[in-house]
Amino acid sequence: MTDSGAPDIDAVRSYAFTLYTQLSGFLLTGTVWVGVHLGLYRAMAGAGPVSADGLAAATGLHPRWVLEWMRAQGAAGLLRHAGDEHFELPPEGAAVLVDEDHLFYAGGTFGHIPLRAAQLADLPESFRTGLGHTWDDRGAEGAAATEGLFRNWYRTMLVPVMLPALDGVAERLRHGARVADVGCGAGVALIETAKAFPSSEFHGYEVSERALERADANRAAVGLTNVTFHHAADDPLPADGSFDLVMTLDCVHDMTRPTEVVAALRRAVADDGTWLWAEPKALPSFEENVERNPMVAMMYATSLTSCMSSAMSEPGGEGLGTLGIPETRARAMAAAAGFTRFEVHDFDNPVNVYFEVRP
């Protein structure tokens, strides 16, 4: 502050720069969605430097709009400027934005962008009433975008890396076990596991009808007979200790009553069974998250239209939010439900941490 009480002009400039940097990121994510949705990145992959006219001809789009899109991507460092209004998608860009089988493919992530932008209009009402929105409020496109967000990680890592790291789990699955995936979404993780372990029996529990529609279609596409999907509101997780493995993959923090769900998981898993629990990497305090998580602002912002919104979609929802379950809280929740053993796995996921929990 200056002596007059007005803020220092350099501080104002710095604050404004920070603000407009966030605006830049918001607008640019929209242009990334355009590039994925219209196949612009795909057309550029492996093509070397291309002009707007060339890219427009390859995609059937208008060259003037394509040129402005290329300039925005080049300015953001997502395309390389090769001079004379030619731009190139680097190989690492093709891996992240085009190759749907690559571990770090992120094109599906940007399917959420139009939905998130539309949800902004609903946020003031949520602030007034306290109620958020269910996953099904996002429609079929929301279910598809969520599936794309997690698909490649579980297709690539779950069977060959994650399950073998859990004490005795892979061997048990090979000989025949019962598995439940609670909050299974479109069933990608469950289906991958069921394909790898045909002697085992798999059950997916989900409350989103849109996600269950996709799960049934995904199961039918590969012809599996050892997978059953359940609408959890009508056909809930049994409390008979019959499951050798239960999984909750990046979903407990989204639930309206996670404490009740964790207690139900304990009743469902066998006394010698295992619970594989994935959550976003979080720390106990805001200060620790800001210091150690470079994506923390995005995480908290995402929570408003996604995780916390879902977790407060019913009256009395706990509203944990995206970063609402750090390891300390996870341990406490598990212990309160009657679990006694707790081990942490990282698996080099940039977003999630994994807990191996046992009775």
What per-residue confidence (pLDDT) applies to 138? Answer: 81
Q: Which residues of 123-156 are buried (b: 16+ CB within 10 A; e: fewer)?
A: eeebeeeeebbbbbbbeeebbbbbbbbbbbbbbb
pTM of the predicted model as reported, rounded to 2 decimal places: 0.89
Taking every pair of Cα atoms in the chain, the longest distance, rounded to a whole number of angstroms, is 77
First to last CA, the chain: 57
3-state secondary structure of 63: helix
Residue 304 has pLDDT above 70, yes or no: yes
For 9-99, the fitting CATH number among 1.10.10.10, 3.50.50.60, 2.40.10.10, 1.10.1060.10 is: 1.10.10.10
Per residue in 270-303, pLDDT (tens digit) is: 999 999 999 999 999 999 999 999 999 999 998 9
User: What fold is seen in the domain 120-358?
Assistant: Rossmann fold (3.40.50)
Per-domain boundaries in the chain = 9-99, 120-358
Distance CA 111, CA 147 (A): 10
pLDDT in tens, 135-145: 888 888 778 87
